[in-house]
Amino acid sequence: MASKTVIVGSAVGLHARPASIVADAASEFDDDIELVKVGGDDEPADAASAMMIMAMGAEKGDQVIVTSDDEAAVEAIAALIEKDLDA
């Protein structure tokens, strides 16, 4: 199992547009990808679900752990979360 902790880069956090971009990218991978907000309720969110991502309530600067059996998936989703997807 691969995992990486990243800092949310989008100014609005992981809300509507950023969550949709992450979910669309995650759905391209065969393996499940989970996100957990550090300091949150520790309930993993399915990275392929924009609604679950938004429900995490991750804001700019929050830490999120990306986990999957597919290391390439972890790297790809982590890179998106670190970007300002609202730019």
Is residue 86 part of the annotated active site? The answer reads: no
Give the DSSP letter string of 26-50. HTTSSS-EEEEETTTT---EETT-H
Judge whether 35 and 53 are in contact, CB under 8 Å: yes
Both tokens assigned to 65: 């752990």
Among candidate residues 8, 9, 13, 15, the one labeled active-site is 15
Please give the positions annotated as active site.
15
